[in-house]
Amino acid sequence: MPLSDIAEDAQQVMSANKAAVSRALNLVEDRRAESHARVAELLAALKDAPKAAGGHRVGLTGPPGVGKSTLTSVLARGLRLRDRTVGVVAVDPSSMRSGGSLLGDRARMSFDPTDNGLFVRSLATAGEVGGLAYAANSSVRVLGAAYDTVIIETTGVGQSEIDIVHVADTVVLVIQPGSGDVLQFLKAGIMEIPDILVVNKADQDELARRAVADLRGALRTAHAVGAGGAQDGAWETPIVATSATKGSGIDELIAQLDAHRKHVETALLARRRRGEVQWTLDLFIRKHGEHGVSTLGGRRLLKARAERELDGGETPLSLCEQLSREYVAALGQTA
């Protein structure tokens, strides 16, 4: 995609042209150095898209096998029934041979390919930790310029994979009854990040009731130590019981998503900016480690710089690349 075509393609992305959206996503996934300028130009052109400001970025996370993909599919259909356009980013594990997405999540989703108000994209983690992919933030920005709601489904969290909080306006943590996940999440601190808790496969009545009770106890514990919804002030994390295979609980889930989106309305831009600052730092640290951070002045200086330059129009991806060049140059000077 030459630079001269990017402005036109950005306009088509904002019109939800599927071919243009697909081209844009291909571009932001391209890690080659010669693509960096085009990625930066594209994301700058999409920065002030009307849908981006008023849209909703929903992160679905939880352990593998909990039913996130089926829930994503049913949730997307429920939103479409309400005449909302939906873009889905399904982050899949990478193939050990090709490095590409295994498409496991896509295989478990059921969507109408003729629906112009719905777009689904798989991203490969390519060895990244944290439940997301290298291009996740940029992909969300592309889809956010085209669709009313963007759903980001992670590969599945363990005890530390919580990067979803840096790209989503509303984080939904999904568990299943009888899994024992609540205790593990409480020990790991993951109960600090969800805005909404979902007990999926809730047709298992007794186990579902026990899981809801466990979650309520975990939330009380989290609140007692100053966590659990603290990022959104007075918001009280709701617990929604769903059965994705039967479609039950989806109306309540959508109602809670809408309520949280309204709750964070005035602080949404600040929340997104905090996420972008942290995403920038995380990308750089994954690439260069703590030595890279100390070489460029330490975390506090890098954070302040990220806040300043992101406000000036940079994107997390482009700023990370700039920091990488400076780090390599600094290494050359000290060699």
DSSP assignments along 140-193, one per residue: HHHHHHH-SEEEEE-S---SS--GGGGT-SEEEEEE-TTS-HHHHHHHHTGGGS
Question: Rounded mean pLDDT of 6-13?
Answer: 92
Cβ 174 vs Cβ 203: under 8 Å: no
Q: Which of 14-23, 66-75, 233-242 has the lowest mean pLDDT?
A: 233-242
pTM of the prediction? 0.86
Task: For 47, list phi and psi in degrees, rounded to 5.
Answer: -55, -40
Nearest to 153 by CA among 179, 134, 132: 132
Q: Which of 9-18, 124-133, 238-247 has the lowest mean pLDDT?
A: 124-133
Question: What does the domain layout of the chain look like in residue ranges?
Answer: 49-263, 270-334
Q: What is the pLDDT of residue 39?
A: 86
**Torsion angle (degrees, nearest 10) of CA 221, 222, 223, 228:** -150
CA pair distance 4, 307, nearest whole angstrom: 29
* Count of CB atoms situated within 10 Å of the CB of 236: 10
The residue ranking higher by pLDDT, 325 or 183, is: 325
Q: What is the pLDDT of residue 82?
A: 97
CA pair distance 89, 25, nearest whole angstrom: 10
Q: What is the pLDDT of residue 209?
A: 84
Task: Give 267's DSSP letter.
Answer: G
Position 114 confidence tier, pLDDT thresholds 50, 70, 90: confident
Question: Rounded mean pLDDT of 257-281?
Answer: 92
Q: Is the pLDDT of residue 190 over 80?
A: no
Question: Rounded mean pLDDT of 105-122?
Answer: 77
Q: Measuring CA to CA, how many Å separate 144 from each of 218, 300, 312?
A: 33, 30, 20
Q: What is the pLDDT of residue 102?
A: 45
CA 31 from centroid of its chain's CA atoms: 19
Mean pLDDT highest for which of 91-100, 113-122, 124-133, 253-262? 253-262
Q: Is the pLDDT of residue 58 over 90?
A: yes
Burial of 167 (0-12, 13-18, 19+ CB in 10 A): buried
Domain 49-263 of CATH type 3.40.50.300: yes
